[in-house]
Amino acid sequence: MAHKNYRRMLYEAKQDLAGDLVERQKLDERIARKHAVVSELQHLCAELEHKRYEKQLDGVIKANLKGGITESARAILKENFFPMTASDLKKSIEERKYNLRPYKNPLAVIHTILKRLVQSGEVRVIPQAGGKKAYQWISSADKLLSEIQNSNQLAKLKHGKSTESK
């Protein structure tokens, strides 16, 4: 009897965790939308107070981009909720004043970075019209939800087989 209680408690705990992860994902989406609003407002401010804005922006960028191009790509993909093409990512990196001049072909470097991020499971490929590819950061909430769904499916399969064999 206690064994069934543990299973029920485990199931309820997983459902509770899944609910929290869904809430977290919704929060991530709201943050992404707000980031887009902030970005647009920054562009408007740049038109009004270009010099002052540039000084502030340079300070923030220098503080946030102490790493290399891979870290910059990660940061940009994490900040953007919507998928980005390699060209979009290159443009964003340039907007952040990252120096791409040392690279003979920066877009090829970015493609290589994206390929490695996909292989490591940090980024997913989103097919686009015309056979193009876009890339989207896989949030920790997405990863955990996927694991919970997989474990629930396995549990259902095992439970279904055990009741069939009786």
Q: Give domain limits for the chain.
A: 2-164
Residue 30 pLDDT exceeds 60: yes
Mean pLDDT of 92-110: 89
As a whole number of angstroms, the distance between CA 39 and CA 44 comes to 9
Mean pLDDT of 93-119: 91
As a whole number of angstroms, the distance between CA 14 and CA 145 comes to 10
Q: How confident is the model at residue 143 (pLDDT cuts 50, 70, 90)?
A: confident
- Write the pLDDT tens digit of every residue in 72-87: 898 899 888 889 999 9
Residue 120 pLDDT exceeds 50: yes
Q: Which CATH number fits domain 2-164: 2.120.10.30, 3.40.50.700, 1.10.10.10, 3.30.950.10?
A: 1.10.10.10
**What are the tokens at 130?**
């015309």
The pLDDT score that the predictor gives to residue 63 is: 46
As a whole number of angstroms, the distance between CA 81 and CA 79 comes to 6
Report the alpha-carbon angle 85-82-33, nearest 5. 145
- Which residues fall within 8 angstroms of residue 4, CB to CB, at 6 or more apart? none
- Which residues fall within 8 angstroms of residue 39, CB to CB, at 6 or more apart? none
Contact (Cβ atoms closer than 8 angstroms) between residue 18 and residue 150: no
**What secondary structure letter does DSSP report for 134?**
E
- Write the pLDDT tens digit of every residue in 33-70: 888 888 787 777 767 666 655 555 555 555 454 568 88
Q: How confident is the model at residue 134 (pLDDT cuts 50, 70, 90)?
A: very high
Q: How many percent of the chain have pLDDT more than 70?
A: 81
Give the strand pairing for 123-127 and 133-137.
antiparallel
The pLDDT score that the predictor gives to residue 53 is: 53
Number of Cβ within 10 Å of residue 157's Cβ equals 10
Which of 6-15, 44-53, 95-104 is predicted least confidently?
A: 44-53
Reported as half-sphere exposure (CB side, CA atoms, 13 A), residue 16 has a value of 6
Sequence-ordered strand ranges (E) for 80-140: 123-127, 133-137
